[in-house]
């Protein structure tokens, strides 16, 4: 797999980690870990965005991050699996990803960088 997409994937993992941290951190180390995860995630995304189409990178990243967070919450934190919630989150994701992908198409057609 392309190393740049690997960066997106790894950034998404750290994204899930900092969301967990933001909710569950309760001491100096867990909070520090949370901030480190935020930095790693952000930096990785920035680096990937330099080599890959920005909109697509963001769309994939958000998709992975959201899916990861939802799954992690159900598996590790006992969040109940509610179909309505999953479907709505899916709908929201389709919206964000669709928005990013159409915007990229538009910019390509208009000759924007």
Partner 1 sequence: MEWIALIFAGLFEMFGVAMMNQLNIERNWQSFVLLVIGFAGSFLLLSFALKTLPMGTAYAIWTGIGASGGAILGMLFYGESKDWKRVFFIAMVLSAAVGLKLVS
If we measure between CA atoms, which residue out of 51, 37, 40 comes closest to residue 3? 51
Neighbours of 49 (CB within 10 A): 19
- Give the whole-angstrom CA distance, residue 99 versus residue 16: 22
Show contacts with partner 1 in window 16-75 (CB under 8 A).
19-20, 22-23, 38, 58, 62, 65-66, 69-70, 72-73
94 forms part of the interface with partner 1 (CB under 8 A)? yes
Cβ 65 to partner 1 shortest distance, Å: 7
The answer to whether the CB of 56 falls within 8 A of the CB of 101 is: yes
Which parts of this chain interact with partner 1 (CB under 8 A)? 19-20, 22-23, 38, 58, 62, 65-66, 69-70, 72-73, 77, 79, 82, 84-85, 88-89, 91-96, 98-100, 102-103, 106, 110
């Amino acid at each position: 797999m392309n190393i740049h997409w690997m960066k997106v994937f790894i950034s998404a993992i750290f994204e899930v980690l900092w969301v967990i941290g933001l909710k569950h951190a309760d001491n100096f180390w867990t909070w520090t870990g949370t901030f480190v995860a935020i930095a790693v995630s952000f930096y990785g995304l920035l680096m990937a965005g330099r080599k890959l189409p920005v909109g697509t990178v963001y769309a994939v990243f958000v998709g992975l991050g959201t899916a990861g967070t939802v799954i992690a919450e159900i598996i590790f934190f006992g969040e109940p699996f509610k179909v309505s919630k999953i479907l709505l989150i899916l709908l929201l994701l389709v919206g964000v990803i669709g928005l990013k992908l159409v915007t990229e198409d538009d910019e390509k057609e208009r000759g924007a960088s």
